[in-house]
Structure formats: structure tokens, C-alpha cells
Amino acid sequence: MCAHLGLYKDRKSTTAKDNKMKDKTSYALGLSMANQFRSTGIHHLSIDDFTEAFRDVYEEKPTQVSYEEAQKLIESLFERISNEEKELNKKAGEEYQKVYAQKEGVVTLPSGVQYEILKKGDGPKPTKTDSVEVHYHGTLINGKVFDSSRLRGKPALFPVTAVIPGWTEILQLMPVGSTWRVVIPSNLAYGEAGAGADIRPNMTLVFEIELLKIEENQ
């Protein structure tokens, strides 16, 4: 009898452990989904309706909307989020450039590109047909680094016309030996498409560019 009681106790303990692990796993899945939603711009939703939809699917109950209608609602949501993000990024960039333009020594070109000379160079200036060797450090307007040849410890070499339009414009104004801080509006950077995970649509970019040398293209 005691042996049977011991076996029952072990089974009960195992069941409790299994349930606890199932609860933890369920929570982990919810945690992962919540982080994914926030990272894609979904900051406001009804938790009650969300969990009700989960329950309806798992319990095979009739859903309140069809899957086709649900897909259209989701597409509409992400379109709205995308448009809001583009507008917010554009306004943030414009405000940043407005403030930066007031800084002594900053030049704003007709295109909207801004530059500040950190170190004067006395060498020649590249043309559109040249390639250049540069060191650069690229950040968002909040200071987050998205690309940097300096951090890699190796300068970059590329044709003047093989980069974003803002770079093509500014490189032709820089004498070799110069180091400039350059602010490029989104329309002369990556525009509404953005680039990668860090450069979101309509983001203004900031670069520190050192022009090391010019190489004529053959």
C-alpha cells in the first residue's frame, strides 16, 4: 500500500512539474509575440479581444470575423503604421536639420544637405568619374551607429556615383584631407524604402566623412 501511495505521489509531483513547465512555455510564447508586435509598431491593442481570438481558435469555436476579413484588417493596420512611421521620421529629420542649421559654421546647400568642416583639407576635389577612399562614421539623428568604416578599422573605396545621392553631392565639394560632418535628408539618402533594420523609412542620416584620396577610374 505504501509503495502504491509513493507511486501516486511521484505521479502527482511529475504532473505538477509538467503543468508548471507548460505554463512557463505558454508565457514565453506570449512574451515573444508581444515583443514582435511592439517591434513592428503595434503599441495599442485590446488584450481581451486578442486572447478571445486565441481561445476561439484553440477551442475550435466560430470566429467573430472571417479569415479573409481578418487579413484585410491586418493589412490595413500595417499600412497605417507604416504611413505614421514615415511621417514621424520625416518630421523628426526636418526638426533636427532646422536646429542644426543654427549652429555656427554649418552650411545648408540648396538640396538640403548640410555640412560642417571639422578639418580642412587642401587637396583636389573628386569628380563624378572618380573613385574615392574614405573613412566614415554613420549614425541616426539619435546617435545610434548603423555603419562605420572607422569601427571596422579599414577605409572604404567606391565610385563617387555608387553611393546615395547626398554622398555623391558632398564628395565633389570636399578637398582631399578634409573631414566633414554631413547631415543628409531622407530624400537624398534611402527615402521611403529605408535600408536594413536600422535605417527606417524617411530617416535623416548623419555622417562624419574623411576624404583620404582620389583614384581616377579607368
The residues annotated as belonging to the active site are 136, 146-147, 164, 190, 207
Q: Which of 202, 179, 189, 188 is nearest to 110 (CA)?
A: 188
**Residues 171, 173, 176, 179: is their CA dihedral positive or negative?**
negative
Q: Which of 58, 32, 212 is nearest to 133 (CA)?
A: 212
- Rounded Cα distance, 132 and 195, in Å: 22
For every residue of 47-91, DSSP letters joined together read: HHHHHHHHHHHHTTPPPSS-HHHHHHHHHHHHHHHHHHHHHHHHH
125, 172 in Cβ contact below 8 A?
yes
